[in-house]
Chains A and B, each alone.
Chain A
Amino acid sequence: MRHLLDTRDLSRAEAVSLLDTADRMGEVGHREVKKLPALRGRTVVNLFFEDSTRTRISFETAEKRLSADVINFAAKGSSVSKGESLKDTAQTLEAINADAVVIRHPGSGAPQRLATSGWIDAPVINAGDGTHAHPTQALLDAMTLRQHRARLASADTAGTDLAGLRVAIVGDVLHSRVARSNVWLLHTLGAEVTLVAPPTLLPVGVDAWPVAVEYDLDAALARGQDAVMMLRIQRERMNAAFFPSAEEYARLWGLTPERLRALEAAGGGTAILHPGPMNRGLEISSEAADSDRSLVLDQVTNGVSVRMAVLYHLLTGPQAPHGPDEEGHHDR
């Protein structure tokens, strides 16, 4: 593994190893000294071309817990707003010897471009690009689901995948890089994924994905799910009317108090996940968000752990020689 651009690139073994490492990293958060020396003297640049609070803070926390030096670069207030290209920005980072670059960009494929263009040698970590991928979010969701299942079975998470776990991903799949990354990672880990959305919020070509598609949330929930992942309605990416009204969307596809009560009545350990930030009252009701089933805060905690694991795996081991030669990075 040289970069982390998309969960499609991850094998089952790589994903399980990342999750195992993340579990260990999680223990550091409970220690008196919340710091490991693994990346001492390494420089990590957070390159955020798009607004983000939680992902940026999570990456920054992860980097600092591993003792890396952190440089935050937000597009607003930087030379990017003066018209600097991605290439020039990248070459500036190369000139200051960045050891890794974390990039969030509104354009799908920008991290891929950065990683493969030869502009920089450093490993690139995709922190969300357009509607394409958000691999660390999918990893933290998988970590949360793995913990959830181990907790119900009073078992250990180490070395396990998500085989047979039933997960419903509900809402704005069309605009969601979180949904895309989750579909591929959950599939790799053996989970059974159902997408639930109005037809207008499903992308063209969804029939080629390794998922079941359902338009009726109540029917999907009635079939029994181990977890429901509610997606945020991304108003900032919506330039057309995808559903008649917010009220109708909430009634048909939101996790309403009535649906929460139905889950309670059915028994079982269905967990509720949401990548945040939540639109309370739209895709998820406050009752659901604050219920015992909600793992939203576990997701935030686990976000730091998986980002530590990704940084650790990309920045330790034999480093790439300067140049495009990537030999020796495929057998780890």
Chain B
Amino acid sequence: MREPSESIEGPGTGTPRRARVILDAADVDRALTRISHEIVEANKGTDGLVLLGIPRRGYPLARRIAEKIARSYPGFDPAEGLGQLDVTMYRDDLRRSTSRTPMPTQLPPRGIDRRNVVLVDDVLYSGRTIRAALDAMADFGRPAVVRLAVLIDRGHRQLPIRADHVGKNLPTSLDESVKVYLEEIDGAAGGPDRVQILAPAGSEDRS
């Protein structure tokens, strides 16, 4: 559980929640296609480009984006420009939230020094995960530039952090949660790729 947005009780635990699908599998795919073109555009090509996914769901998103970029721009090799950055040890809530097992960090063979890093995550919320990621990166090298791509920006930032590439801006209230389902993490049992918003039962429908 990285963001408060992910701390969702499944059915049967805690208060019942109503779920609405915001993005379906095709929407997710289109958003990632657009983000991949935006990333190359902002980078003025694929030179020095490194995509770093934040576990758990940021990494499969980063891999999908890397594959899309490689298909459109043959100069980009995912083996050289894709990695995973674990931020567990750099979080500012280690003394409060549950003790988490860290995930592996795998950087591209040439590292991140003087390269153009794009951090990829599923949901941008408080901004604290990204702050931890920036700290973690400093222990591995000094990128030329760091940008941020997220599938969902749900607002409620607690730090001066913004995303450069956003799949969908999703205004939420604090008592709602946003849940991203990806085949790579949730498996076949999780159902198709989608983004859901969960509201506490009995609350007003805002739409």
Contacts and interface: CB of A to CB of B under 8 A. Distances in A.
A57 B104 CA distance: 26
B96 A318 contact: yes
B101 to A, nearest CB: 5
Given A27-B104, A31-B140, A37 B89 contact: yes
Given A17-B101, A38-B94, A24 B86 contact: yes
A31 B101 contact: no
B95 to A, nearest CB: 6
A38 B97 CA distance: 13
A15 to B, nearest CB: 12
Contact of B101 (A21, A32, A38): A21
A246 interface: no
Interface in A1-47: 17, 20-21, 24-25, 27, 31-33, 35-38
A313 B95 CA distance: 10
B101 A24 contact: yes
Interface residues of A, number: 20
Q: At the interface, is chain B mostly helix, strand, loop or mixed?
A: loop
A143 to B, nearest CB: 14
A317 interface: yes
A82 interface: no
A332 B99 contact: yes
Contacts of A31: 139-140
B181 interface: no
A245 interface: no
Interface string A91-127: 0000000000000000000000000000000000000
A38 B87 CA distance: 10
Contacts of B94: 38, 316-317
A59 interface: no
B99 A316 contact: yes
B7 interface: no
A139 to B, nearest CB: 14
Contacts of A37: 89-90, 135
A318 B98 contact: yes
A89 to B, nearest CB: 26
A200 interface: no
A312 interface: yes
Interface in A65-86: none
Contacts of B171: none
30 contacts: A20-B101, A24-B86, A24-B101, A24-B102, A25-B102, A27-B104, A27-B105, A32-B139, A32-B140, A33-B139, A36-B89, A37-B89, A38-B89, A38-B90, A38-B94, A312-B89, A312-B99, A313-B99, A316-B100, A317-B94, A317-B95, A317-B97, A317-B98, A317-B99, A318-B95, A318-B96, A318-B97, A318-B98, A332-B98, A332-B99
Interface of A: 17, 20-21, 24-25, 27, 31-33, 35-38, 312-313, 316-319, 332
